[in-house]
Amino acid sequence: MEISPDNTVYLSYEFMKLNDTLVYTWVVMFLLVGFSWLVTRKITSSSVISDKQNILEILVDGLLTQIEGATNQRPERFLPLLGTLFIFILVSNILAVVPGFAPPTGSLSTTTAFSLIVFFAVPYYGIKENGLRNYLKSYIQPSPMMLPFNIIGEVSRTFALAVRLFGNILSGTMMGAILLVIMPLLVPVIMQLLGLLIGVVQAYIFTVLAAVFIAAGLEVHTSNS
């Protein structure tokens, strides 16, 4: 049994390997980009809109509301980052019920990449909002003694973000595979249902946690002054 989709290698050229994770990431990317491209070709502002455009509008509007609720900031500038993360994780988690599809979020390399993006997005937004000096000041709050603990906290929550998503999706697919071997009738279906629920909740949690971290990086200055 493969513990990670990274291990299924199709092609390899020197240090570059084309593995399951990459292939299915491209599949998800193709689906998302293709769908968005199709919808935005004939987008209208009239009251009669197509179903597809309606789906996209509901999605974007819901994301804006959620991000605003999590950060208490104007949500538009976070939408490109957090919305993309959410939609990608959501689609790849939901597609995990398709037989043969190995969700790219079940690979530690993908989730680590996501959490590294969040790790660097926090200082990016923080410095853009408050300036470098004020942002760095937040690390020595409430006293300079807390500096190492703040840094450890920053790193460990990034690690937790990656391992949480990876572990949840991996456990879902793995339980499904094991149950399919020992009890092929009905029970795997229930696990798949649970996997769907967990997949959606994990996508939501990843996005909300990223939003909360970014908001925490922003609010540093306002609480000092």
Span interacting with another protein, options 36-44, 144-152, 166-174, 189-197, rule CB under 8 A: 166-174
State which residue, 139 or 204, has the beta carbon closest to another protein: 204
Residue 110, interface with another protein (CB under 8 A)?
no
Residue 155, interface with another protein (CB under 8 A)?
no
Residue 196, interface with another protein (CB under 8 A)?
no
66 membership: H or E segment, kind and range = helix 51-71
Residue 199: name the closest of 67, 70, 105 by CA: 105
State which residue, 127 or 205, has the beta carbon closest to another protein: 205
Residue 171, interface with another protein (CB under 8 A)?
yes
Note every long-range contact of 114-120, with CB atoms under 8 Å and residues 24 or more positions apart, other chains counting: 114/85, 114/89, 114/161, 114/162, 114/165, 114/206, 115/158, 115/159, 115/161, 115/162, 115/165, 116/158, 117/81, 117/85, 118/85, 118/158, 118/161, 118/210, 118/213, 118/214, 119/154, 119/158
Among 22, 81, 118, 170, binds another protein (CB under 8 A): 170
Span interacting with another protein, options 95-103, 129-137, 138-146, 164-172, rule CB under 8 A: 164-172
Distances (CA, A) of 95 to 28, 147, 176, 200, 224: 9, 42, 14, 11, 45
Residue 168, interface with another protein (CB under 8 A)?
yes
State which residue, 32 or 216, has the beta carbon closest to another protein: 216
State which residue, 54 or 171, has the beta carbon closest to another protein: 171
Positions in the binding site for another protein (CB under 8 A): 1, 3, 69-70, 160, 163-164, 166-168, 170-171, 174, 201-202, 204-205, 208-209, 212
